[in-house]
Amino acid sequence: MLRVTKLTDYATVVLTVLAARPDDVLSATELAEQAGLEVPTVAKLLKPLAQAGLVAAFRGSNGGYRLARAASDISLVQIVEAMEGPLGMTECSLHDGACGIESSCGVRANWRRINDVVADALREVTLAQMLAPPPRLPRRIPATLATA
């Protein structure tokens, strides 16, 4: 199963809290309260998010964190890569020479293509879009009921 880590999921939650209040500087404690997370977890998340340029940190008595840029300018792939490193479905998706059967492998090019598709999909979704409720899908009416 493909899945992001729990910390990446939590990082997205923390960033949506900041995105919902773009003009505010929030402490790690305030972020933890609003995100429903523990303060040490939030503190652990904020360091890589700041290093990746997704959040800006402010020191002092009114210090805290806010988004470093508009939520519409932050993509999900940036969040994933800030927390987990470069996106790679398989080792060979990222690095040449990482696999013992690389020279005879017939699926490597396809994994790289799949990796690109997933990265592009994550690149197309912004943090701002994560704030909005998902669009409702139309309910499917079984064909037997639609003709009745």
Element (H, E) at 52: none
Q: Mean pLDDT lowest for which of 14-23, 94-103, 108-117?
A: 94-103
pTM: 0.82
The per-residue pLDDT for 132 is 83
Backbone torsion region of residue 11, taken as left when φ is above 0, otherwise alpha when ψ lies between -120 and 50, otherwise beta: alpha
Q: Match 């988004």 to its residue by tokens.
A: 67
Residue 129 has pLDDT above 60, yes or no: yes
Cβ(125)–Cβ(17) under 8 Å?
no
Q: What is the pLDDT of residues 46-103, one digit of tens each?
A: 999 999 999 999 998 888 999 999 999 999 999 999 999 988 877 776 666 667 777 7
Q: What is the pLDDT of residues 32-48, one digit of tens each?
A: 999 999 999 999 999 99
Q: Tell me the residue type at 124.
A: E
What is d(CA 136, CA 71) in angstroms, rounded to the nearest whole number? Answer: 22
Instruction: State the distance between the two ends of the chain, measured CA to CA, in whole angstroms.
Output: 41
- What domains lie within the chain, and their CATH numbers? 6-85+125-131 (1.10.10.10)
Residue 142 has pLDDT above 90, yes or no: no
| CA pseudo-torsion sign 39, 41, 45, 50 | positive
Q: Tell me the residue type at 140.
A: R
The per-residue pLDDT for 70 is 96
Residue 120 has pLDDT above 70, yes or no: yes
Q: Match 């940036």 to its residue by tokens.
A: 78
